[in-house]
Amino acid sequence: MSSSEQEIQQKSTDNQQEQVSNADINATKPDSATDATQHDFAAAEQYKNKGNELLKTKEFSKAIDMYSKAIELYPSSAIYYANRALAHLRQESFGLALQDGVSAVKTDPTYLKGYYRRAAAHMSLGKFKQALSDFEYVAKCRPNDKDAKLKFTECSKIVKMRAFERAIAVDKPEKSLSEMYRDMENITIEDDYKGPQLEDGKVTLKFMKDLMEHYKAQKRLHRKFAYKILCDIDVYMRAQPSLVDIKVPDEEKFTICGDIHGQFYDLMNIFEINGLPSEKNPYLFNGDFVDRGSFSVECIFTLFGFKLLYPNHFFLSRGNHESINMNQMYGFTGEVTAKYTSTMADIFTQVFNWLPLCHCINQKILVMHGGLFSSDNVTLDNIRRIERNCQPPEEGLMCELLWSDPQQWMGRGPSKRGVGIQFGPDVTEAFCKANNLDYIIRSHEVKDMGYEVGHNGQCITVFSAPNYCDTMGNMGAFITITGNNLKPNYTSFQAVPHPDVKPMAYANSLMNWLA
């Protein structure tokens, strides 16, 4: 053991059971340098304490403001950076959380929570090797701490699993799901199954109504029909372009919804408020159908079912959570495995790769999950040419479509998430002008009213998961337009009750510990 590790171990003997929780966010590190420093420290402590209370009541933005004021007065406390990192993690600002984790470690290398915060941010960004390095360091510093050892062991398992997956992957012509899983056609339906059934292998309106009632009663669709829906949606999505053009006829309504995130009962409420999908009531759901909420299986089969029933009047865009990294960490993979099999979880990964990346409505409204680009002069034809059958890359057009966020100030900046970029009103205006668009609609961010209009009306955010993760207290919203009047109309709605299954119930245990 190095001398620095011995020092850290000695300093941490009074706090052997380090937990990533709110329990010790009140810890402080006093300073006795000067009267002025003591005064600044005392004032900073007051801001920190206010931040802690706001963190407990889920007011994360206000908590961040308090911690920032504390840091401005007294930048020598690693605790302030670590607490602010936790608030950033709760807001899914993983890039900012990583910066604060780094600052906490740099400010006080003996404060081990800084390493946990940095590890949490790295894991959220899919950077598991970097996270493992932090867990390994803490475990060495605390050889008798079972919690530290468990975190290191769990992260090590993830890194080894990823390495194994890469090792067995080979380049070969990809087969369709129907070709790969022909034996699933022979799955027997048990006599005691009383749930919905496909009619001659096809989705019907009766099937969809029965399916939704079946799900409301917390029952499962038979695996034979689940596999069939996945095979059919795979065939359909492969034939779609990366940018889908939608024509909404004059006088007819069209609805755009944002993130659903596994909140099935809120999805049902949207249909209750706005009507079931039909050829006269078309919808576009703009990505992040799964993860976080613990009814993601119910959401995705409902959405895929309506897509098969109304292929030209029901549309689905890929979000950043339709990816293997997000699914393995935030619950969807675990949920599919628990409710069906790990094989089906792998099938979803293949299907998600073929989801379109964005939609253009009446040649005037571009709808994508994340946002705009780090490069000027991107055209709709550039988007059409994206080869999307892959996991989202860490940069480039596809990455930015799924991850970017708007900012209030001009120009471009680094993403608070650590992936994609932030783009200002001038970027949006130039993009819309170059592509003859009226405005863009995107999702990807929680908003208090479920929507937000920015960039002089040219960048609209819509988010359709109210009281996100049962903690945020936000409303959900959806947007409606008509073919001859593209002015957006907004409908906000509250969360509805759901069965007593908490969000993230199927998430990777390490993510629950860390965040």
321 is catalytic: yes
Residues linked to residue 236 through DSSP beta bridges, in sequence order: none
- Give the span between the Cα atoms of 220 and 226, in whole angstroms: 9
Length of the chain: 515
**Inter-residue contact 144 to 39 (CB < 8 Å):** no
Residues linked to residue 368 through DSSP beta bridges, in sequence order: 358
What is each CA distance from 110 to 5, 8, 14, 124, in whole angstroms? Answer: 9, 5, 13, 24
Would you say the C-alpha torsion 181, 185, 186, 189 has a positive or negative sign? positive
- Give the span between the Cα atoms of 212 and 275, in whole angstroms: 14
Distance between the two ends of the chain, CA-based, in angstroms? Answer: 30
Beta-carbon contacts of 198 under 8 Å, excluding residues fewer than 6 positions away, are: 204, 207, 225, 228, 229
- Strand-pair category, 439-442 with 459-462: parallel
Instruction: From the candidates 222, 321, 359, 444, give the one annotated as an active-site residue.
Output: 321
- Give the span between the Cα atoms of 330 and 297, in whole angstroms: 13
- Strand-pair category, 459-462 with 451-454: antiparallel
Distance of CA 385 to the CA centre of its chain: 25
Kind plus residue range of the DSSP H or E element containing 223: helix 223-238
Catalytic residues: 321
